Chain A
Amino acid sequence: MATEVAVAPGHHEDEPDHMANYLIAARGVKSWLVTLDHKRIGVMYLASVILAFFMGGMFALLVRLELLTPGRTIMGAATYNRVFTLHGAVMVFLFIIPSIPAAMGNFILPLMLGAKDVAFPRLNLLSFYIYVVGALFSLFSIISGAVDTGWTFYTPYSTTSSSSVVSMTLGVFILGFSSILTGLNFLVTIHKMRAPGLHWRRLPLFVWGMYATSVMQVLATPVLAITLALLAMEKVLGLGIFDASLGGDPVLFQHFFWFYSHPAVYIMIVPGMAIVSELFATFSRRAIVGYFAVAMSSLGLALLGFLVWGHHMFTSGQSEFSTMLFSALTMLVAIPSGVKVFNWTLTLYKGSIWLTTPMLYALSFLVLFTIGGLTGLFLGTLSTDIHLHDTYFVVAHFHYVMMGGTVMGFLGGLLYWWPKITGKMYDESLAKVSWFFVFVGFNAVFIVQFIMGSRGMPRRYYDYVPEFRPYHQFSTVGSWILAVGFFILAYVLVKSLRSGAKAPPNPWGSAGFEWNTATPPIMQNFAVTPTITRGPYDYHEATEEELWDGFPEDFKKSEP
């Protein structure tokens, strides 16, 4: 078939133009599928994780709808168990873990480093396809009967369940490799590909966050892989590893699982923090207070993340001594988290604060993560945890951290870098409306869950006793408000893609390095390798054109 794409004279059709906008440098579906460009791989990841988020969100709405009334509302108990398992598994493994690192990290990290690409572009594409294969395996479990174990796959329930646990765990096993390879790639990239002048003290905080995340991905994910492999072996071959009736130890599984999954909590939240640090700097026009402390606190969280897995098992019968140790270490997590929150807050002081939608998301992160963190105190403290463990209090707590934290960071980053990625602006006032619904809806869903949890409502319950009814109904109505917010946001993004105004090179007036190149970037990122002469937050050293490009005229003129 003859191509209809106009080709510049003297330029071969198959050869991408390295100086052209990456979106049009090469054309056709195939040019995307086999691309080695980190930006395109990032965009493909972005599309995939948004799809996963949509799916996970639908499952969440179903869960909340079922809980609208006690007893059966729309589905039976066995179906309900599958739906909440899918909600958790899809959100954790298909959305939140790859969301920021694989999608935005891929796109932004090399730009921030002044590099042409990541260190291993082919490995990068491979990890995307591994993700796709892993996702397909996990989704295959849905049509083959779905999983009803909860996303935690606790033994011996999972080894005795008749649902399709094997294909789900196999899927998660495969997804793990994608995560490991991305982490490895980023570590090498950060070490080896920094532009001249970009020493460690000038590294953007987003990069520091990615660095800490990558370390955790590389070190913790293999443990999950082994655990799930053992689980599958026990189920398929009847090896007695976790099953007490075969001489195994069921609690051992929990140790293995949380040895990965607690660091995974930081694999999820540290990237959110990383984005928020960028947003606070850009929209306050001010270097983050305590840059070094904020950078190191990411590494601190990564380190502590490996030492606290036992806090998920205070009631499981592990020894009193380990319980004490895990509680003490868990308390320490409050320190690096506090350092971040305090430094962000102080960054606002004497800044020049511009309340765009990304900044609103950054502030939401601050508010919601603070709630999530403070409620963590109830859970790290031993005696209070005994009562709250496995209740809705825990559900609310981790949603405040994972959704109030990571998802707010993700949305903030998505809108902040949207012009960079697509070359288009979005409708700011409509985006603010959607933010409002998301913020109000989120709080409506989860604030009551704290109360019903501390009053004794256990989690993963299909049915509930009458006194919890008002809380559940409030929460379900909240989920609808939240959904409205997301649908408006989807409309905002689609509208921007179809008819958004062309983005100026630096729409937010940021001093960050990723804005040093064209918007959207050219295929090889930079026409010449940039030399870095200042830090990414040195607003007083940045030039006026850098900071005021694309701003309303009256702002520019009134500058003294």
Chain B
Amino acid sequence: MNTEPTMQLPGQWSTFGVGYDWLFYFIYWLSVVLFVAVVGAALYFVVKYRRRPGVKSEPTGHYLLLEIGWTVSPLILLVMLFHWGFAGYVSLTAPPPDALDIRVRARKWSWDFEYPNGGHSQDELHVPVGRPVRLILSSEDVIHAMYIPGFRVKRDAVPGSYSTLWFEATHVGRTRYFCAEYCGAAEQPVHEADGTDRYTGHFSMNGWVNIHPVDGPAAESVSGENTWRSGWASYLENVLRAPIDPATGHEVTPAQWGELLYARNQCNTCHSVNGSAMTGPTWQHMFGQNVDLADGTHVLVDENYVRESILQPAVKVVRGFNPVMPSYQGSLTDRQLDALIAYIRTLR
């Protein structure tokens, strides 16, 4: 595995690299062979059968077998390609359960990354090497997309719902990420002090993914382009620090904040966290399970379902309960929803 780019592909920085590049080059060489065969034959015929005085074309015959042959045989190749592509895609959509969750919020035209301890970074993503990482994407305005070419992954960040993407970095260092879904630009550039104009927009929503070693120098001893050299634990603790709750003076993680919201918004009048059913279902062991709905179907409790249950409780009603839960549309912010979900996740 190599972090240097090849002729056609960027360097390989994640566990997806090898398999991806193999499939890519397989299709590439397949295409080269087919192209040379078709175009070569065509050019050969054009030269060989060019119009000459006294030579007539031969009437077209029937080539039934050939006809059937080139209709059916590509099918075999296509099924193969589909199968490999689908297998690769499935591994892209199934993060291991122990993945480190990072919340990614996109807005015009910057990215905010929130780490499990509640700390944030803007426009620079920090991840540990050799550990699966799951990005939970959302957007505050229009559709954006997180694209990390070195990892061979991409996923849209859609307003109003969550989407996820995962990877496991294989090398320490840094590689670029981009916004891949067109999201406009500022009407006017910013005039810098040195007289230049700085434009912002879709094209400027990019930055570096810093891949930290698990152990390494303390965060204070490295800076700038070398930030990625510092050890992951030290960086998380000292730079991506958890925010301080002004009320208590303690650091709070999103899950702890969610617990506070659970009490403050009176969710606890209807939902328990100890397994006993009240007016509403308990939150214990709820996340990640299938629940039966009143209409006879069932649904997996994931981020999107919980979000929908809070904002539009009447859409999917849990079997055995009355649809009495009020909607929190407009009264909880996106951040508060994220925190509640983080809390509910810890109860599984």
A residues with a Cβ closer than 8 A to B are 71-72, 76-78, 80-81, 148, 150, 154, 156-157, 160-161, 244-245, 247, 249-251, 284-290, 293, 314-317, 320, 323-324, 327-328, 331-332, 334-335, 338-339, 341-355, 363, 366-367, 370-371, 374-375, 377-378, 380-387, 389-391, 450-451, 454-456, 458-465, 537, 539-540, 554-555, 558-560
CA distance A461 to B183 in the complex (A): 10
Contacts of A539 in B (CB 8 A): 57, 59
Contacts of A383 in B (CB 8 A): 19-20, 23, 84-89, 92, 152
* 29 pairs, CB–CB < 8 Å, chain A vs chain B: A71-B199, A77-B185, A77-B186, A81-B185, A81-B201, A154-B181, A156-B141, A157-B182, A161-B184, A244-B160, A245-B160, A247-B329, A249-B160, A286-B60, A287-B60, A289-B60, A316-B143, A317-B158, A327-B89, A348-B42, A352-B55, A353-B45, A377-B31, A384-B85, A390-B181, A450-B8, A454-B8, A458-B147, A463-B199
Q: Nearest Cβ distance between residue A161 and chain B, in whole angstroms? A: 7
Q: Is B49 an interface residue (CB 8 A)?
A: yes
Pick the 3 closest A-B CB pairs, nearest first: A244-B160, A383-B88, A456-B149
Our pick among B71, B85, B147, B149 for the contact of A382 (Cβ within 8 Å) is B85
Q: Are B92 and A462 in contact (CB under 8 A)?
A: no
Contacts of A370 in B (CB 8 A): 34-35, 38-39
Q: For B7, B19, B147, which residue has the most chain A Cβ atoms within 10 angstroms?
A: B147
CA distance A238 to B28 in the complex (A): 47
Q: Is B172 an interface residue (CB 8 A)?
A: no
**Closest residue of A by beta carbon distance from B94:** A320
Q: Is B324 an interface residue (CB 8 A)?
A: no
Contacts of B182 in A (CB 8 A): 150, 154, 157, 390, 459-460
Contacts of A349 in B (CB 8 A): 45, 49
Contacts of A285 in B (CB 8 A): 51, 56-57
Q: Are B180 and A288 in contact (CB under 8 A)?
A: no
Segment of B73-81, B233-241, B277-285 in the binding face: B73-81
Contacts of B227 in A (CB 8 A): none
Our pick among A247, A338, A371 for the contact of B35 (Cβ within 8 Å) is A371
Q: Is B161 an interface residue (CB 8 A)?
A: yes
Q: Are A157 and B143 in contact (CB under 8 A)?
A: yes
Q: Is B50 an interface residue (CB 8 A)?
A: yes
B residues with a Cβ closer than 8 A to A are 5, 7-10, 19-20, 23-24, 27-28, 30-31, 34-35, 38-39, 41-42, 45-46, 49-60, 63, 66-67, 70-71, 74-75, 78-79, 81-82, 84-90, 92-93, 141-143, 145, 147, 149-150, 152-156, 158-161, 163, 176, 178-189, 197, 199-204, 206, 329
CA distance A129 to B187 in the complex (A): 36
Contacts of B186 in A (CB 8 A): 77-78
Q: Are A286 and B53 in contact (CB under 8 A)?
A: no
Q: Are A342 and B38 in contact (CB under 8 A)?
A: yes
Contacts of B158 in A (CB 8 A): 244, 250-251, 316-317
Decide yes or no: A72 and B57 within 8 Å by CB, A245-B160, A348-B46 being known contacts: no
Q: Are B202 and A286 in contact (CB under 8 A)?
A: no
Contacts of B329 in A (CB 8 A): 247
Contacts of B152 in A (CB 8 A): 383, 386-387
Q: Nearest Cβ distance between residue B166 and chain A, in whole angstroms? A: 12
Q: Nearest Cβ distance between residue A15 and chain B, in whole angstroms? A: 45
Q: Are A377 and B71 in contact (CB under 8 A)?
A: no
Contacts of B5 in A (CB 8 A): 455
Q: Are B8 and A331 in contact (CB under 8 A)?
A: no
Decide yes or no: A386 and B54 within 8 Å by CB, A250-B159, A317-B155, A391-B180 being known contacts: no
Q: Nearest Cβ distance between residue A215 and chain B, in whole angstroms? A: 22
CA distance A294 to B154 in the complex (A): 38
Contacts of A160 in B (CB 8 A): 141-142
**Closest residue of B by beta carbon distance from A460:** B182
CA distance A342 to B51 in the complex (A): 21
Q: Are B9 and A382 in contact (CB under 8 A)?
A: no
Q: Are B93 and A374 in contact (CB under 8 A)?
A: no
Contacts of B143 in A (CB 8 A): 154, 156-157, 250, 316
Q: Nearest Cβ distance between residue B150 and chain A, in whole angstroms? A: 8
Q: Nearest Cβ distance between residue A539 and chain B, in whole angstroms? A: 6
Contacts of A78 in B (CB 8 A): 185-188, 201
Decide yes or no: A317 and B161 within 8 Å by CB, A156-B142, A157-B143 being known contacts: yes
CA distance A315 to B155 in the complex (A): 5
**Closest residue of B by beta carbon distance from A383:** B88
**Closest residue of B by beta carbon distance from A344:** B42
Our pick among A342, A351, A381 for the contact of B49 (Cβ within 8 Å) is A351
CA distance A148 to B163 in the complex (A): 26
Q: Nearest Cβ distance between residue A365 and chain B, in whole angstroms? A: 11
CA distance A245 to B142 in the complex (A): 10
Q: For B39, B51, B66, which residue has the most chain A Cβ atoms within 10 angstroms?
A: B51
Q: Are A350 and B58 in contact (CB under 8 A)?
A: yes
Q: Are B153 and A386 in contact (CB under 8 A)?
A: yes
Q: Are A286 and B70 in contact (CB under 8 A)?
A: no
Q: Nearest Cβ distance between residue B3 and chain A, in whole angstroms? A: 13
CA distance A451 to B85 in the complex (A): 21
CA distance A78 to B183 in the complex (A): 11
Contacts of B153 in A (CB 8 A): 386-387
Contacts of B92 in A (CB 8 A): 383, 386
CA distance A387 to B177 in the complex (A): 12
Contacts of B66 in A (CB 8 A): 346
Decide yes or no: A456 and B46 within 8 Å by CB, A72-B199, A383-B92 being known contacts: no
Q: Are B57 and A284 in contact (CB under 8 A)?
A: yes
CA distance A339 to B52 in the complex (A): 29
Q: Are A389 and B81 in contact (CB under 8 A)?
A: no
CA distance A350 to B180 in the complex (A): 49
Decide yes or no: A363 and B189 within 8 Å by CB, A377-B30, A384-B20 being known contacts: no
Interface contacts beyond A338-B71, A348-B46: sample of 6 additional A-B pairs, CB < 8 Å, sorted by A: A150-B182, A342-B70, A366-B38, A381-B84, A450-B8, A461-B202
Our pick among A331, A353, A378 for the contact of B78 (Cβ within 8 Å) is A331
Q: Are B53 and A558 in contact (CB under 8 A)?
A: yes
